[in-house]
Structure 1
Amino acid sequence: MDFRIFTEPQQGARYDDLLTVARASERLGFEGFFRSDHYLGMGTDGLPGPTDAWTTLAGLARETERITLGTLVASATFRHPGVLAIQVAQVDDMSGGRIELGLGAGWYAEEHAAYGIPFPARRFGLLTEQLEVLTGLWNTPVGGRFDYAGEHYELVDSPALPKPTRSVPIIVGGHGAKRTPALAARFASEFNTPFASEDDVPRLYARVRSACEEIARDPAELTYSSAFVVCVGADEAEFTRRAEAIGREPGELRENGIAGTPAEAIERLGRLRAAGTERMYLQVLDLADLDHLELIATEVVARL
């Protein structure tokens, strides 16, 4: 199992805050640094205001050296797929080939209303066409042309440039029973179960494996990952303090997250690994608490 740090900057963070956490994550040996793609805080004033995911990742691409960077997940409602294809390819080049794209249908209606972004009731077709366009543009040979005629997007005689440095890994995730597994099987190199219950995780993975088999794809070609909030303390007092700092109840965190003492976190992660999880996204909610990252790296990850 490898470990990535996952942040929610819409809750209140500047670029420099994210840079500090990304550099700390890299120094401490985490495999990746990912961020959400939201423009409105949830249950907070969000001060000083939102940061754009791809603007952030472009900056981090130049100010980090090793760590994988990406979105978990970009919203298909925010960007035209042609624009997104250019952004991702450019940032991948800026990073030396360290970018991964998590892409979803979008769900937070209030942020769309707040910034004048259309929010159609039916968005799954939008997501499907975006994945078709992105992969079509990137896979078109240099010198070739790409055309696409869909219900939502039309591209005519596109030079399909620029190209990313390599085939950009695409992450698809969710809890859907049929359409999401089918999309993962068709387009993804990784399937993610965001904030699923421990019992649901193996069932969600099994659906994707079945969808792969239906299209004659080897299910082992995908990486199977999960995302959980993380809150760990060296002892009960420190854990409780960190839970209070992020406005969560210790009991609720123990039930739904990677939480408690290092021993408890290791036990939970061990069960998830046994359930098939190959990669873990640790959602860090207090970006100022770098000691938390160090504790996780030295007392949890290192022991696994």
Structure 2
Amino acid sequence: MSLDLRIFTEPQQGASYDDQLAIAKATEELGFSAFFRSDHYLAMGGDGLPGPTDSWITLAGLARDTETVRLGTLVSSATFRHPGVLAIQVAQVDQMSGGRVELGLGTGWFGAEHAAYGIPFPDKRFGILEEQLAVVTGLWGTPQGETFSHSGKHYTITDSPALPKPAQDRIPVIVGGAGAKRTPALAARFADEYNQGFPEIDSIGPRIKVIEQALSDAGRSTDSMVLSAALVLAVGQDEAEFTRRAAAIGREPAELREHGVAGTVAEAAERLRDLEKAGISRVYLQVLDMQDLDHLDLVAREVRPQLD
């Protein structure tokens, strides 16, 4: 199978560490390549009980409680952590996992969660993201025994020993967004993967052409970047089961069919094949009902074999 399938969750909507561990272990046991989670501190609708869990603390626990599945964020907000601290945290979790970590990093967008927890939320955040990517990758890439410095508008790093080092030679960095020029250029400069988050299906191909042009402008080959998409998952063995799963996450079946990997097993497989034809090589399946582990089993058992 050439299409890489990953499980992506939204724990801020209401999930304990044990809830996340259960789905991460199911992800691993069922042969999906990675367990990813959002990086949010406030529920987007609903009461969010039992409350948010920090993404990198959670991933540190999962690093010890899983064995083979890759782990990461889609995406961490550049407003939440200073880049030097983020570099230390992610490198440490990578060590704890034996080299299974990936970092998705974005500007942040949800103003209400910043207000709820006293986190500054400046109007202009693209420069912050750009410098964070430069600092984080710069710290990781500095040879042991040398120091790293950075002088920018937002951050100054002076003679850092650039420790600890990740277990991997390079932690994969994921950048995404819908910007016409700046975001693709930033991805071409720093990222190993470019992600389209919940795109309109017919916009995926044109967006790939944009990132391919950015790679060419940066002197990179098009095959040096993983091209991925994140889409909501709602699949049923039959129409009744699909309708039940749609209702469980508060979505309309017709809307899910239009925007997600959704419907019957045959429909889900067809959508995934279409994504691959458009140029996508990795799909993050957004699982919103984290208690429904049978959902993952159905995709692994019935949908995935149709992609071979």
Q: TM (normalized to structure 1)?
A: 0.99
Residue pairs, 1:276-287, within 5 angstroms: 276-287=279-290
RMSD: 0.5
Specify the code of the residue in structure 1 equivalent to 2:183: T
Give me the whole-angstrom Cα distance separating, in 1, the residues matched to 2:133 and 2:27. Answer: 29
Q: Kindly indicate whether residue 268 of structure 2 is the aligned counterpart of residue 265 of structure 1.
A: yes
Stretches (4+) displaced over 4 A? none
Give me the whole-angstrom Cα distance separating, in 2, the residues matched to 1:53 and 1:10. Answer: 10
Match of residue 14 from structure 1 = 16
Q: Secondary structure at the match of 1:199?
A: helix
Match of residue 86 from structure 1 = 88
Q: Secondary structure at the match of 1:107?
A: coil
Residue 210 (structure 1) shift? 0.3
> Unaligned 5+ residue runs, structure 1?
none
Match of residue 200 from structure 2 = 197
Match of residue 174 from structure 1 = 177
Match of residue 253 from structure 1 = 256
Match of residue 41 from structure 2 = 39
Q: Secondary structure at the match of 2:103?
A: strand
- Select which of 213, 232, 236 maps to 1:229: 232
Give me the whole-angstrom Cα distance separating, in 1, the residues matched to 2:219 and 2:158. Answer: 31
Specify the code of the residue in structure 2 equivalent to 1:95: S
- Select which of 61, 65, 68 maps to 1:66: 68
Residue 303 (structure 1) shift? 1.8
- Select which of 283, 297, 300 maps to 1:297: 300
What is the aligned length? 304
Residue 11 (structure 1) shift? 0.2
Q: Secondary structure at the match of 1:163?
A: coil
Give me the whole-angstrom Cα distance separating, in 1, the residues matched to 2:214 and 2:244. Answer: 43
Residue 302 (structure 1) shift? 2.1
Specify the code of the residue in structure 1 equivalent to 2:26: A
Give me the whole-angstrom Cα distance separating, in 2, the residues matched to 1:25 and 1:165. Answer: 22
Match of residue 96 from structure 1 = 98
- Select which of 188, 197, 211 maps to 2:214: 211
Q: Secondary structure at the match of 1:66?
A: coil
Q: TM (normalized to structure 2)?
A: 0.98
Give me the whole-angstrom Cα distance separating, in 2, the residues matched to 1:54 and 1:301. Answer: 29
> Unaligned 5+ residue runs, structure 2?
none
Match of residue 78 from structure 2 = 76
Give me the whole-angstrom Cα distance separating, in 1, the residues matched to 2:275 and 2:41. Answer: 31
